[in-house]
Amino acid sequence: DEGPLTPCVHLLAPSRVVPNLGLNLFVSDRRLQAEVIRVVDVLDRAGIHVGRPRPFNVFHRQPINGDPNDDNDPFWSHYEPDTHSIQLTNGRAIDSLIETVRHEIGHAILGHRCVRIDSPNGSHSFNSATDAGLAMGEGWAQFVGLMLSGDRGAAAVAYKGEEWGAGAL
């Protein structure tokens, strides 16, 4: 039993630590750091503590094979519940990485505080048939990403992710 309070140990030194949010950032890009801090702070103020009781680690690493769009690369952007960390693939556009942060934090909320959904994991896409567990996890992460992209005072959400309109799928 690994228990919910098992700390994660890394050989790398974090680029930035935000103790009040329980964040360890292994990310040198300041804009990416700022977005992670912003969304974790928004959630924290809403009572959703992503970085407590376990620290939340965010990594921004080079893809192993040099292709940042290869979803079979082990450093492909994803949430890892065992270490309560997000892997972000370096080499992708910053706007895409920011949307990925918002989506993966949705997975972190489920994996850290709520439930662990049994699914086959692995490569997947939003517009192909999948199992119910994976569909639930991806749907939730998309919802959280959309919620974190919005401005409560705006008339419309400025979301640039998957096109969910008629005929898109």
pLDDT tens sequence across 24-43: 999 999 999 999 999 999 99
Count CB-CB contacts under 10 A for residue 108. Answer: 26
Please give the pLDDT value at position 118: 57
Structure tokens at 66: 């040099």
Q: Which two tokens stand for residue 133?
A: 């567990």
Predicted structure pTM score: 0.75
Query: Quick one: average pLDDT of 9-38?
Result: 90
Give CA–CA dist 16/161, Å, rounded. Answer: 28
Task: Label residue 44 exposed, middle or buried (CB < 10 Å: 0-12, 13-18, 19+).
Answer: middle
Kindly indicate the confidence band of residue 62, based on its pLDDT and cuts at 50, 70 and 90: confident
User: Does 5 have pLDDT greater than 50?
Assistant: no
Residue type at position 33: Q
In whole angstroms, give the CA distance from residue 128 to residue 101. Answer: 22
- pLDDT tens, position by position, 96-110: 889 889 989 988 887
Q: What is the mean pLDDT of residues 62-68?
A: 85
Angle CA 21–27–98, to nearest 5? 80
pLDDT at 1: 40
pLDDT at residue 121 above 70?
no
41-54 pLDDT, tens digit per residue, is 999 999 999 998 88
Rounded average pLDDT over 130-147: 75
The residue that leads in pLDDT, 152 or 8, is 152
Exposure of 132 in the CB half-sphere (CA atoms within 13 A) = 0
